[in-house]
Amino acid sequence: MFAAENGLKGDPRLKAISEAIRVIPNFPKPGIMFQDITTLLLDHNAFKHTIDIFVDRYRDMDISVVAGVEARGFMFGPSIALAIGAKFVPLRKPRKLPGEVISESYVLEYGTDSLEMHVGAVRPGDRALIIDDLVATGGTLFAAINLLERSGAEVTECACVIGLPIVKERFRSNGKRLYFLVEPRQLEDCC
């Protein structure tokens, strides 16, 4: 669900967050409108609003683990985990984690990839929140959900800064919860 449909309609923080995201057309390949969150990280107010909105939503949900998706989920997840009193678990690209891992493959808007998680980082009974910067097809988040559920965790919700409205139906039909703050920017909205 989009934050504006859930109590934040008209909240000026959402506009500030959206305006801090830069759009780079045709990166990393023709036809992709790349949503660049590095400019959001440069804007202290917009970055803080992003973390504050997530912390307000998740602080009372009894979440024990925040799992961040490499690479951009690492930029938001740890701050949220610290603020809500949860552990942080990195979900990494292949061959980056040194210990024993479990792995899930997925198809991307521009290729295929896998995510890996350390065995033992997540325990049966953990209540998980998965964080990433953006959901496009949802393939990455579904791989992340599978990793956590295979470890016995209950995935409470997936949260992203940017979400394509079209992906909401895919989550709903799979019985999974998705929360995102803003829709992708178009080039004419920005720069």
Ligand X SMILES: O=P(O)(O)OC[C@H]1O[C@H](OP(=O)(O)OP(=O)(O)O)[C@H](O)[C@@H]1O
Contact footprint for ligand X (CB under 6 A): 69-72, 108-109, 113, 132-140
Residue 35: contacted member of ligand ADE, ligand X, none (CB under 5 to 8 Å, by partner type)? ligand ADE
Structural Rg of the chain based on CA atoms: 16
Least distance from ligand ADE to the Cβ atom of residue 150, Å: 24
How far CA 61 is from CA of 19, 66, 188, in Å, comes to 29, 12, 38
DSSP secondary structure string for all residues of 9-78: TT-HHHHHHHHH-EEEET-SSTT-EEEETHHHHH-HHHHHHHHHHHHHHHTTS---EEEEETTGGGGTHH
Q: For this structure, is 188 an active site residue? A: no
Least distance from ligand X to the Cβ atom of residue 135, Å: 5
Of 53, 109, 102, whose CA–CA distance to 76 is shortest?
A: 53
CA quadruple 189, 187, 170, 72: dihedral, nearest 10: -100
Which position among 19, 70, 109, 183 bears the catalytic label? 109
Least distance from ligand ADE to the Cβ atom of residue 72, Å: 8
Positions touching ligand ADE (CB under 6 A) are 32-35, 109, 134, 136
**C-beta of residue 163 within 8 angstroms of C-beta of residue 183:** yes
- In the bound state with ligand X, the residue whose beta carbon lies nearer, of 32 and 102, is 32
Q: For this structure, is 72 an active site residue? A: yes
Which position among 57, 72, 92, 185 bears the catalytic label? 72
Least distance from ligand ADE to the Cβ atom of residue 86, Å: 25
Residue 32: contacted member of ligand X, ligand ADE, none (CB under 5 to 8 Å, by partner type)? ligand ADE
Which residues are part of the catalytic machinery? 72, 109
